Structure 1
Amino acid sequence: MKSRARRFLTALALFLGLAVVPPPALAADTGTAEAGKPAGSASARSAVAAMQPGWNLGNTLDSTGADETSWGNPRVTRELLRSVRAQGFKSIRIPVTWSRHQGAAPSYTVDPAYLARVKEVVDWALDEDLYVLINVHHDSWQWVMNLPTQHDAVLARYTATWTQIAETFRDAPGKLLFESVNEPYFDGSSGDAQNAELMHELNSTFHTLVRASGGRNATRLLVLPTLRSSPDQARVDELVDTFTALDDPNLVATIHYYGFWPFSVNIAGYTRFDATTQKDLTETLDRLYNTFVAHGIPVIIGEYGLLGFDRSTGTIEQGEKLKFFEYLGNYARLRQLTTMLWDNGQHFHRSELRWNDPGLYRQLRSSWTVSSATAATDQVFVRKGQAPSDARVALNLNGNRLTSIVHGSKALVRGRDYSVDGDQLTLPAATLARLTASQEYGVNAVLSLRFSRGVPWDLNVITYEAPTLTGATGTTGSLVIPTAFRGDQLATMEAVYADGTNAGPQDWTSYKEFGYTFAPDYTAGKITLQSVFFDAVRDGSTVTLTFHFWSGTTVKYRLTRSGTAVTGEPIA
């Protein structure tokens, strides 16, 4: 239910050819401000530090439907919040959308039953000793964005909304924080200058009315976002100006971070957590540290994750995904930034109270305290029916050392079953032949690489053959290509016309967006080309698709479109 990907197009950058290296150690924050610069109080910095790590109760009270279940999640229970606390989270962001539950102008009265429900959930979370952050959420794109063209009406509604929230929670414990608005933007503005003025006006209006409501709101921590919750330097500089003008030590800055956009959605061939993706991460978090934290202003990354998760957590390959989250958690810790994982129900199962991807949670939790080792890959491919060669895997040790490799309950013997030279792990051909003796397609063995600290790194030993795609007929509504994956998995897809120009949507790249234009189904044995792909394919054209698989295999396929009819055939 998030819609960020399109506006991050400008994040595409050139490869820099840098090696992935561990983040550097950082000097301790002095918590002091330069003359004329804003600074947070020591208590504000302490509270925000105590909120690390945080979790989002996404797609629930922020849903724009009739109630909190309308986006597919169950009603919130006290048991859920207790379980979130048991996972190690210290804070919870509870996004709230108010629009559907408000009356008409001029009072914009919030339905008392809905307000009571929000309060019930907040109180449960507080009772579980969690810090809690509530906000005005999807209202941002439902009516707040009209501020340039309907200024007085929008400001009146915004004021009425926060006046009611502030009154309801005026005496709530100090562990409750207010966030003015989620990912704000403005339709119909004249540009950056007016956007900055309107953003300042919203945050200042919020600040004034909450402080005036009295009770604990007089000193409550108030969380102010940048325009669109963007971490770009121009946007954070605008927020610094607001902090300076408000001159309140109990303010907190917030932004959202979903990684380097092409990697985050798997487009343009950015399938790996490479040097460019890492550089985007480090530069963003450095910017927050240098602009805010180094001057005593605490920062909450109110949402983080990968945008491709909005379609499927499989959009990004597992090992690449784990490297991203390990590095982000570790670097955020060193930069003294509090992080709140965006979870719209795809991570922590709300009914069964378990993690849908235990490996991801294991990596997340480790990153909160230590730097874990990773590797260049979590996959070693052995071709079916052929004698394997030695496999070499580069390790990102992150200051650790490899202590053992375990297969099932048995430890491999160093010097016989594997060897290590610096950061290079070698698995001999004889070891791989033994591990893949079954010759079954797919993962034949999982090797657990254990290190001197942090969590293990799982290395999957996979038997495969080149995937085969067969002919298909369909329409521009969709084309289903029968596919025998034969142990392999799809990394990305290219599409070009006969003249070599790029085909399909986002034609600035030949590599199409995973899950958006095409999607594999390994269980059903098919790859589906979505209607959005054909919407941008010329009628009467022939398109060559190149499917890239994680083994390194590529398979070419020819499409022909005639009107709404589409045919496909493999290219020998």
Structure 2
Amino acid sequence: MNGSRRTVLGAVVALVAAVVPATASAAAETGCEITYSTTSQWQGGFVADVAVTNRGAALDGWALSWEWPSGQQAGHGWNSKITESGDHVTAVNAGYNAKIATGATVKFGFYGTWAEANTAPLSFSLNGVTCVHGGPRLTAMQHTAAMQPGWNLGNTLDSTGSDETSWGNPRITEALLDNVKAQGFKSVRLPVTWSAHLGPDHVIEAAYLARVKEVVRWALARDLYVMLNIHHDSWQWMLNMPADHDGVLTRFNAIWTQLTGAFAEFGPKLTFESWNEPQFTGSTGKPQEIALNSELNASFHDVVRRSGGNNATRLLVLPTLHTSSEQTYVDPLVEQIRGLADPNLIATVHYYGYWPFSVNVAGGTRFDATAQKDVTDSFDRVHDSFVARGIPVVIGEYGLLGFDRHTGTIEQGEKLKFFEHLGHYARTKKLTTMLWDNGQHLNRTTGQWNDPELYAHIRSSWTTRSGTAYTDQVFNEKSSPITDKTIALNLNGTRFTDLHHGSTKLTRGRDYTISGDQLTLTAPALTRLSGSRGYGTNAVLTARFSQGVPWRFYVITYDTPVLSNASGTTEEFEIPTAFRGDQLATMEARYDDGTNAGPHDWTSFKEYDRAFRPDYTDGHTTLTPDFFAAVRENARVTLTFHYWSGVKVTYSVVRSGSSVTGTTV
């Protein structure tokens, strides 16, 4: 850089290809192999060497073509004649190296120039036939491991509208993919919904297909693995297969027939995923649904493999019914993959956690032993069923279902423990994970993480463990003297090292003590840190461990929240709430006879944000229309609000028609 010449190491792209049209008979044919390497690079210039190995019939005269992905220009070369038109480059043999016998290699090189980037070419074409690009072929297990970690480009090309921005995300740019790679991701799952872009005879709209192809090119140019699928079509029309078997199968096969042709030129770093979250309606039961999913997976496999060429050995991803990790759905996919006897297959499931915790219902406020066991049981099942049998697994989506509304459904510390544990356990079970991101995590406009602390724990979990704790909240009641507070640490194989307040290292023995996994914050230290003891967070402490991400403790001053009488409607009912520094964890709802009220009447604890939500800024607690839709008329409902400090406050509401009256208890 800065005008100095430097050697670029490892900038090698190996390419292997079929030199015949993509047909069923072509599957066993071989063709060309290209090795492109940038052997030297400096500001604005570079030297490239290219080796052309003939894997097909002997050649007498050759022309190698490619396109620059980053606007480079080729200059003076040797052992070939190079011509250029825009981004398109053609290197033609010299007189003395026109012949390439089967298995033989010729080499040439050139000087080039670059400005913004010097990305290796995506693909090469030898005498008009595309060579596979994107690196050497790997086994399915190696390929899947190389995809770790992955990221979903959600709510964009999978939107059900006519444009990729219709669900609120900006258009995909090369800068976004640059950022995704810079964040440490090795692969991108590209969900695509095709239904709004199908014409007569299920022909995919040319412009839309070209756009998807452009995004795939951009990702591959950045050395990212790509997983392309059929996405929300699953619940738009594919679920109707029990009643419209032939119609669904015909459309499904038509889409994949077009995709195999459109993406035939792309090499092994592009994988195809059969379809997203298989589901059916109007079936005779689960056995039929399992059979239909297997039929679609088999048809997908057949269409892709019969297209030949690069698709003859492309890695294919097959889902369980509902992409569930339940054994009853895993076993049929194990049987199917083993029956296909194809070494280039990957299984996929999704994981969104133990449901009560994932959405914060039924009192599932904490990432407790039950929620942890759900992670380990799920990952153990897919490991023992697939990985132990040599079948790799991609967790094609993971996250928390509460994120569908907003990321505050789950308390911050509990959320962090979930992601830390999930990443760690997936790694121990050799499962590749792909974070579901619909735009709420990595901000696609600013390029920043909306929750940097969450991302830090996710990223750390890819390689190591982090220490956590039973809680990240230290509550001190304002109306009472401050006392010592003891918190259990989850060391997770780490060693506690020290505790900081900002840049100040706190003193062990005076400010805190450690006994095994018990951290005690002393009353004098908490008093000092709490200052004037205004409601809310007074200080943030950082516990550091021998490895991984530090853990934060929020020192909070609170008093019991105060609720006030209110009136409103079932469409808009707000309880005036003076939170006084506390935070709402969950809410119970019961009738006077002790039975459960509201949605999910099998539990008294209602679902956060679906039935209720706090507004700390405006000072009220909202009860939603969904809540009142499941409340009996003129029956008093006693609400119990549980706050993270441990206090409980009761309140009663009565619905009369669309009117609601609320009173303190």
* Both proteins in one fold, TM over 0.5: yes
1:74 aligns with 2:151: no
Contact 1:401 1:451 in 2 (8 A): yes
Paired residue for 1:447? 541
Paired residue for 2:15? none
Paired residue for 2:161? 65
Deviates more, 1:518-527 or 1:411-420: 518-527
How far does residue 522 in structure 1 lie from its aligned partner after superposition? Answer: 1.0
Secondary structure, aligned partner of 1:324:
helix
Mapping for residues 144-159 of structure 1, pairs under 5 Å = 144-159=238-253
How far does residue 204 in structure 1 lie from its aligned partner after superposition? Answer: 0.5
How far does residue 42 in structure 1 lie from its aligned partner after superposition? Answer: 6.7
Mapping for residues 79-478 of structure 1, pairs under 5 Å = 79-104=175-200, 107-478=201-572
How far does residue 525 in structure 1 lie from its aligned partner after superposition? Answer: 1.1
Deviates more, 1:190-199 or 1:305-314: 190-199
Opposite residue 240 of structure 1, the aligned amino acid is V
Contact 1:326 1:363 in 2 (8 A): yes
Mapping for residues 413-562 of structure 1, pairs under 5 Å = 413-562=507-656
Contact 1:349 1:356 in 2 (8 A): yes
Opposite residue 226 of structure 2, the aligned amino acid is V
More strand by share: 2
> How far, CA to CA, are the matches of 1:275 and 1:180 in structure 2?
35
Secondary structure, aligned partner of 1:349:
coil
Deviates more, 1:558-567 or 1:314-323: 558-567
Contact 1:385 1:439 in 2 (8 A): no
Deviates more, 1:190-199 or 1:159-168: 190-199
RMSD value, Cα: 0.9
> How far, CA to CA, are the matches of 1:203 and 1:61 in structure 2?
22
What CA deviation, in whole Å up to 9, does each residue of 1:27-58 have, x standing for no partner? xxxxxxxxxxxxxx971101100111100001
Secondary structure, aligned partner of 1:314:
helix
> How far, CA to CA, are the matches of 2:615 and 2:169 in structure 1?
24
Paired residue for 1:54? 150
> How far, CA to CA, are the matches of 1:472 and 1:101 in structure 2?
50
Structure 1 unaligned spans of 5+: 1-40
Opposite residue 463 of structure 1, the aligned amino acid is T
Opposite residue 82 of structure 1, the aligned amino acid is D
Secondary structure, aligned partner of 1:348:
coil
Secondary structure, aligned partner of 2:144:
helix
> How far, CA to CA, are the matches of 1:208 and 1:333 in structure 2?
32
> How far, CA to CA, are the matches of 2:582 and 2:310 in structure 1?
58
Structure 2 unaligned spans of 5+: 1-136
Q: Which has the larger radius of gyration?
A: 2
> How far, CA to CA, are the matches of 1:301 and 1:482 in structure 2?
43
How far does residue 167 in structure 1 lie from its aligned partner after superposition? Answer: 0.6
Secondary structure, aligned partner of 1:509:
coil
How far does residue 438 in structure 1 lie from its aligned partner after superposition? Answer: 2.2
| Percent identity for Structure 1 against Structure 2 | 63
What CA deviation, in whole Å up to 9, does each residue of 1:225-251 have, x standing for no partner? 001111100101010111022110000
> How far, CA to CA, are the matches of 1:483 and 1:197 in structure 2?
53
Deviates more, 1:436-445 or 1:530-539: 436-445
Paired residue for 2:19? none
Secondary structure, aligned partner of 1:523:
coil
> How far, CA to CA, are the matches of 1:125 and 1:520 in structure 2?
41
Taking CA–CA contacts closer than 8 Å with sequence separation of 6 or more, which of the two structures ends up with the larger relative contact order? 1
> How far, CA to CA, are the matches of 1:296 and 1:555 in structure 2?
54
Opposite residue 61 of structure 1, the aligned amino acid is L
How far does residue 196 in structure 1 lie from its aligned partner after superposition? Answer: 2.0
> How far, CA to CA, are the matches of 2:572 and 2:624 in structure 1?
5
What CA deviation, in whole Å up to 9, does each residue of 1:121-166 have, x standing for no partner? 1111111111000100000011111111111111110000111111
Paired residue for 1:43? 139
> How far, CA to CA, are the matches of 2:442 and 2:287 in structure 1?
41
Secondary structure, aligned partner of 2:475:
strand
Paired residue for 2:109? none
What CA deviation, in whole Å up to 9, does each residue of 1:442-466 have, x standing for no partner? 1111111000111100011001111
Secondary structure, aligned partner of 1:245:
helix
**Runs of 4 or more above 6 Å deviation:** none
> How far, CA to CA, are the matches of 1:419 and 1:550 in structure 2?
24
Contact 1:465 1:486 in 2 (8 A): yes
What CA deviation, in whole Å up to 9, does each residue of 1:384-427 have, x standing for no partner? 14211100000010111111111011000111111000000000
Report how many aligned residue pairs link the two structures.
529
What's the TM-score once normalised by structure 1's chain length? 0.92
Opposite residue 157 of structure 2, the aligned amino acid is L
Secondary structure, aligned partner of 1:340:
strand
Paired residue for 1:23? none
What CA deviation, in whole Å up to 9, does each residue of 1:486-539 have, x standing for no partner? 111100000000111100011000000001011111111111100010001001
> How far, CA to CA, are the matches of 1:563 and 1:312 in structure 2?
30
Paired residue for 1:9? none
> How far, CA to CA, are the matches of 1:423 and 1:64 in structure 2?
50
Secondary structure, aligned partner of 1:355:
coil
Opposite residue 198 of structure 1, the aligned amino acid is L
Per the alignment, do residues 187 and 48 of structure 1 end up closer, same or farther by CA in structure 2, a change over 3 Å counting? Answer: same
